[in-house]
Amino acid sequence: MAKFDLSKWYTAAQAAEKLGTTTKYVRTLAIQYGKFKTFKFHDHLMLYWKADVDAYSIEKGQPGRKREKSVA
């Protein structure tokens, strides 16, 4: 049986803390945009390749989706 080295992977919570974002956004980056290599460990647990997460940076103030201002 092959060994699986968990020290090379982040959980969604660990990746979110490292990037300063939410777990939902981490999953979006991985699944929708393919930014991180993933491993589906269980039905309810996906792991994210540590090297990919560490190399990725979220630059604040860059153009992208913005919330609409509500008019009250």
Q: How high is the pLDDT of residue 27?
A: 95
| Helices and strands in the chain, H and E counts | 3, 3
Residue found under tokens 């777990």: 23
Spans of all domains in the chain: 8-55
| C-alpha–C-alpha distance, residues 10 and 49, integer Å | 6
38-71 residue pLDDT tens: 999 889 999 999 999 999 987 655 555 555 666 6
Q: How high is the pLDDT of residue 31?
A: 94
| 62: CB partners within 8 A, 6+ apart | none
8-28 residue pLDDT tens: 999 999 999 999 999 999 999
Give yes or no for residue 3 having a pLDDT over 60. yes
Collapse the DSSP code of 48 into the 3-class scheme (helix H, G, I; strand E, B; otherwise coil) and give the result: strand
Q: How high is the pLDDT of residue 42?
A: 85
